[in-house]
Structures are given as structure tokens and as C-alpha cells.
């Protein structure tokens, strides 16, 4: 079966909320990226070439290093394993990794190896020259033994493995195959960002992540449409024993192809500034989502959104959880009511995304046991005060403590579903405490709304919101409407 697919937001955000528990082992070619910016105002008198007058320079990790940077930026742990040169570029890479808080014990430095570096020169944000310094050669026997030893030691700590092959020598001459075999024996999934035309060297990997052009080169023919992508991917699955293939397709999105199913995920339209490192972001995010418990289609949807974010940035880019969350919500448009029920962590990310987009966020809370006109009026009034409204809902245990052993009439799941279906409510979060104070501290809403039966000094969280520059709004209630009154009428009727 082959079809276009867009997963529900709920499993997407559940996976993202677990990123912080994931550890990824990254092996491959670590590259130093230099970015030199300047202006061009004249032509050289020595030759008919422009003169770039430097205005600044930055350095970043490229290749497998950019995979590590993205993993850490998304809140997970990364363990790098590789061999780099004992040169200035290698020193700079080690320094940057240390600044990221990454343990560099698995990175060996060898005086006989050159650290690959790429220097990009730009004027007015337009790249005018790239200068590469590298020496492509396979690992020597001693280097290989060191790499494998470090890999075995780190594997026990890892949830998933990425082989980032940039063709600089780290995974040549059977190294990739040896590492994949070790992963298989240990029962650890291994993903490969491949290089070259012959994927036999990656045989047995859980998955490979080629782009469309690389996929075509691997099967010896051009591939464009959905059916051609699926056929090419299955040819590689059959030939090399991959569990599945994730093919990135630029503006067409991404395809996830197994031996008997295929899903195609459309990308979001966005302005493209720079594709540098987009593939690194995709495989890093895909690995995190997969290790966090997402199935491969959900993981691909998350990775697809991540790639869409970083191509809108300049340079070797990485992204944050907040940017990723925002991209995923934009891809879904209005949120289906069942997907508006979030845990506190997911709600906090969503609120941060809304605020980044310049939207005001309101908050109100309550038990909302039997929904009545007073509740609807309160929520409508609250929503009129803000662009987005989050509703904090007391859990069943919390309601029992507040209202007595006979309450709630409706359990928290039913109450949340009914409330999330209201047009005035953008997200529902169930909280276990007697008050929503901790939730308000986590969300930091711009506006806190309660009924006018309270005074401002009685509103939980009022001080927090006001100190942060927000405001507290008290709205009039519908007279004579309450859950307690409704329950009283029902009980009275039952005795007649």
C-alpha cells in the first residue's frame, strides 16, 4: 500500500516529550565548518576576481558533528565516536563539542590524519566561494581498532546508532559493515546516512536515509514519482536486508518505504535560504523520535518538519524543540479536539510556540464536571481576552479531594474530550494537584481568567502572571448555573 499520510499531532508530541531520555551514538566523518562573512566592494588589481573584505568568522561542527549538534540542541544526549586529526581543525572541533557539553572520550586524535574542514566565504549572505581542506583515506589498523573499541564501550549506553558517512574515510573498507554487525548482535537499531552508489557496505542496517538523487544513483536510474521511489527503495531493501528506507525528496517531502507498505509525507512550503546540514538534522531527529517510541512513519513526519525548519536558516543549522513543535502544529492547521488534550510539557512547548508567533495566551481552570451554560459562557469570555486559550482541568483525584467522594460525575477523560471540542478552547491539560499553580508557573500565560465570584487576591497564580507582565481578568458568571445545582436537581428528581 502506498499513500499520502499525515499522523495525528498527539503521537508526534508524545515522542518529542521523550527526547530528553534518549542517547544516540554517532559515528562518522566529523568536519569543521568555517563561515567567513564580508563585503565585496572592488575587483582585485592582481586578477579579475572580487576582493572579499572580512567582517567576521564563525565555526561550527559539520558532517557527523552537525548530527551531534542537532541531537544536543533537541535536548537529548549524544556520544560521538570517530578519529580526527591532531591539528588545529581537530582542536577546534573538540572545543566546540566541549562547549555543547558532549563527552569527547570516544574521539581519537591522530597526528597522521587530517581533520576535514570546509570554509564558506559569503558577501551579503550570498556564498561566493567554498574552500575544502581534507584527505580522504581509510582507517589504518590501529585507528580502526581504537574506533571499534570506543564503539563497543559506548554502545551499551546508547538507545540507537547513527552512521554519518560523508565519504572522508571513517566508514570505508568494511568499517560500516562491522559496526552494523555489532549493533545487530546487541539488538540496537542503526540508521545510515549513506554516501556513494554501492549500499552493500551498509547491509543489515535498520534503515538508510538517502535523498532522491542518491536513491536513484544507488539503483542506477533516475527516480522521481512516488511509484519510482517505492520501487527503488524496495530494490535496496531486498538486496541489502534493510528493514526500511527513508527517502528525502526536497520540496516533495519524505517517503517511508518498507517491504510491504509505503507512506509519503508532504513538506510545508517555506522559503529556502540554505540546505547545508539539512540531512544531518533529518537523521538526527528521525533517530530521536524512533528511539523515543514513535513508529517509523511518525518519526519521519517529525524529521520532515525538522528539515523544513533548518532550510529556512543560513549556515549549518540546528533547531530547538520549540521550533520543531511550532512546525508540526503549523503543518496540521486547526487542532482536532482529541489532539488538543496535552500533558504539561507538550502544552508548555505549544504555548512557547504561540508566543514566538506573537499570539497572546490565556489560561483558566476548573473541574467542569457536568458542562452547563455557565461554563460555556465563562470559556467564551476567556477566549475573547486572548488569541489562544489553555484550560487546566482538575484530575479525578483532585476533584474528589475538593468536592467529596461522589464526584466527579464524569471522569477526567470524558471531561477533557468534551472541553477540547469547544471552539473557545485551544488546549486542555489535566493536573493532579488541588490548584493549578505549578501548571501556571510552567505555562506562564499572558492572561489569567477566573469567574467574578473570586477576587484577584484569591486567584491562584495571579501574582505569578502579574509579575511576568501579564494580567488577571475576572468575568461575570451566568446566575443560577452550577454543577452542584444540576446534581441536586437530578437527585431530587430521582426521589419523586
What pLDDT is stored for residue 409 in this prediction?
87
Q: Kindly report the average pLDDT of the chain as a whole number.
A: 88
User: What are 475's strand-pairing partners?
Assistant: 451
Determine contact, residues 27/161, Cβ cutoff 8 Å: yes
Of 333, 366, 383, the domain-final residue: 333
Q: What is the CATH number of the domain that holds 183?
A: 3.40.1190.20
Residue 75 in this model has a pLDDT that exceeds 70: yes
User: What's 432's domain CATH number?
Assistant: 3.40.50.620
Q: What is the pLDDT of residues 24-38, one digit of tens each?
A: 999 999 999 999 999
What pLDDT, on a 0 to 100 scale, did the predictor assign at position 368? 92
pTM of the model: 0.70
Catalytic residues: 280
List of residues 6+ apart from 274 with CB closer than 8 A: 311, 313, 314, 315, 317
Domain containing residue 370: 338-494
Closest among 280, 199, 212, 211 to 242, alpha carbons compared? 199
Domain co-membership, 347 together with 278: no
Judgement on whether residues 35 and 119 belong to the same structural domain of the protein: yes
- Residue 153 in this model has a pLDDT that exceeds 90: yes
Q: Is the separation of the CB atoms in 117 and 33 below 8 Å?
A: yes
Name the residue with cell 534518549. Answer: 22
Query: Based on the domain organization, do 325 and 345 belong to the same domain?
Result: no
211 among annotated binding-site residues: yes
pLDDT at 318 over 50: yes
pLDDT tens by residue, 361-408? 999 999 998 888 888 989 999 999 999 999 999 999 999 999 888 889
**Residue that terminates a domain, selected from 303, 333, 363:** 333
pLDDT at 449: 94
Query: For residue 479, what pLDDT band results from cuts at 50, 70 and 90?
Result: low
196 with 304, same domain? yes
Q: Are residues 316 and 453 in the same domain?
A: no
Stronger pLDDT, 216 or 7, i.e. the higher one: 216
**Residues 98-115: pLDDT tens digits?**
999 999 999 999 999 999
Same-domain status, 183 and 244:
yes
The rounded Cα 195 to chain-centroid distance in angstroms is 24
Same domain, 459 and 343: yes
All three cell numbers of 296? 517509523
- Beta carbons of 489 and 395 less than 8 angstroms apart: no
Q: What is the 3-state secondary structure (H, E, C) of 91-109?
A: HHHHHHHHHCCCCCCCEEE
Question: Would the annotation count 92 as a binding residue?
Answer: no
Q: Could you read off the pLDDT of 224-281 as tens digits, one per residue?
A: 999 999 999 999 999 999 999 999 987 788 999 999 999 998 875 444 334 455 889 9
Tally the domains of the chain: 2
213 annotated ligand binder: yes
| Same-domain status, 328 and 349 | no
Q: Which of 298, 333, 368 is the last residue of a domain?
A: 333
Band of the pLDDT at 334, cuts 50, 70, 90? Answer: very low
Q: Same domain for 245 and 393?
A: no
**H or E element in which residue 34 lies:** strand 30-43
What span, in angstroms and rounded, lies between the C-alpha atoms of 168 and 170?
A: 6
Q: Are residues 135 and 58 in the same domain?
A: yes
C-alpha cell at 441: 508557573
- Are 282 and 307 members of one domain? yes
308 and 344 assigned to the same domain: no
Predicted confidence at residue 88, as pLDDT, reads 96
Confidence check: pLDDT of 311 > 90: no
212 is in an annotated binding site: yes
What is the per-residue DSSP string for 131-153? EEE----PPPHHHHHHHHHHHHH
| Residue 2 pLDDT greater than 90, yes or no | no
Amino acid at each position: 500500500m502506498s499513500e499520502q499520510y499525515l499522523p495525528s499531532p498527539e503521537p508526534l508530541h508524545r515522542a518529542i516529550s521523550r527526547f530528553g531520555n534518549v542517547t544516540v551514538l554517532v559515528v562518522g566523518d566529523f568536519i569543521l565548518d568555517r563561515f567567513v562573512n564580508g563585503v565585496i566592494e572592488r575587483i582585485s588589481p592582481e586578477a579579475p576576481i572580487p576582493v572579499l573584505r572580512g567582517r567576521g568568522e564563525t565555526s561550527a561542527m559539520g558532517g557527523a558533528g552537525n548530527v551531534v549538534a542537532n541531537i544536543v540542541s533537541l535536548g537529548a544526549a549524544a556520544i560521538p565516536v570517530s578519529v580526527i586529526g591532531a591539528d588545529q581543525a581537530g582542536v577546534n572541533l573538540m572545543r566546540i563539542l566541549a562547549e555543547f557539553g558532549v563527552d569527547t572520550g570516544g574521539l581519537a586524535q591522530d597526528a597522521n590524519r587530517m581533520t576535514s574542514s570546509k570554509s564558506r566565504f559569503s558577501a551579503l549572505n550570498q556564498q561566493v566561494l567554498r574552500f575544502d581542506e581534507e584527505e580522504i583515506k581509510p582507517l589504518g589498523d590501529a585507528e580502526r581498532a581504537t574506533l571499534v573499541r570506543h564503539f563497543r564501550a559506548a554502545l551499551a549506553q546508547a538507545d540507537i546508532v547513527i552512521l554519518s558517512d560523508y565519504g572522508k574515510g571513517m566508514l570505508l573498507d568494511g568499517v560500516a559493515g562491522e559496526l552494523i554487525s555489532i549493533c545487530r548482535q546487541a539488538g540496537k537499531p542503526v540508521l545510515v546516512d549513506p554516501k556513494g552508489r554501492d549500499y552493500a557496505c551498509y547491509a543489515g542496517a535498520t534503515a538508510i536515509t538517502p535523498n532522491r538523487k542518491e536513491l536513484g544513483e544507488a539503483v542506477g536510474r533516475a527516480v522521481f514519482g512516488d511509484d519510482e521511489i517505492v520501487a527503488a527503495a524496495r530494490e535496496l531493501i531486498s538486496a541489502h536486508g534493510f528493514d526500511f528506507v527513508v527517502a528525502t525528496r526536497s520540496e516533495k517531502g519524505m517517503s517511508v518505504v518498507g517491504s510491504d507498505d509505503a507512506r509519503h509525507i508532504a513538506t510545508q512550503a517555506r522559503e529556502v535560504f540554505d540546505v547545508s546540514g539539512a540531512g544531518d538534522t533529518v537523521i538526527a531527529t528521525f533517530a530521536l523520535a524512533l528511539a523515543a517510541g514513535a513508529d517509523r512513519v511518525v518519526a519521519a513526519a517529525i524529521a520532515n518538519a525538522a528539515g523544513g525548519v533548518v532550510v529556512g536558516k543560513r549556515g549549518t543549522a540546528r533547531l530547538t524543540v520549540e521550533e520543531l513543535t511550532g512546525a508540526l502544529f503549523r503543518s496540521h492547521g486547526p487542532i482536532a479536539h482529541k489532539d488538543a488534550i496535552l500533558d504539561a510539557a507538550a502544552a508548555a512547548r505549544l504555548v512557547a510556540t504561540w508566543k514566538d508567533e506573537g499570539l497572546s495566551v490565556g489560561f483558566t481552570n476548573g473541574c467542569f464536571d457536568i458542562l452547563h451554560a455557565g461554563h460555556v459562557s465563562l470559556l467564551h469570555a476567556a477566549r475573547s481576552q486572548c488569541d489562544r486559550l489553555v484550560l487546566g482541568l482538575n484530575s479525578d483525584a483532585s476533584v474528589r479531594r475538593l468536592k467529596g467522594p461522589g464526584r466527579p460525575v464524569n471522569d477526567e477523560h470524558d471531561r477533557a474530550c468534551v472541553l477540547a471540542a469547544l471552539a473557545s478552547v485551544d488546549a486542555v491539560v489535566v493536573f493532579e494537584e488541588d490548584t493549578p499553580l505549578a501548571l501556571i508557573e510552567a505555562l506562564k500565560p499572558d492572561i489569567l481568567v477566573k469567574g467574578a465570584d473570586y477576587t484577584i487576591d484569591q486567584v491562584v497564580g495571579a501574582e505569578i502572571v502579574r509579575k511576568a507582565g501579564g494580567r488577571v481578568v475576572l468575568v461575570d458568571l451566568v446566575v443560577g448555573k452550577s454543577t452542584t445545582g444540576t446534581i441536586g436537581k437530578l437527585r431530587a428528581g430521582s426521589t419523586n
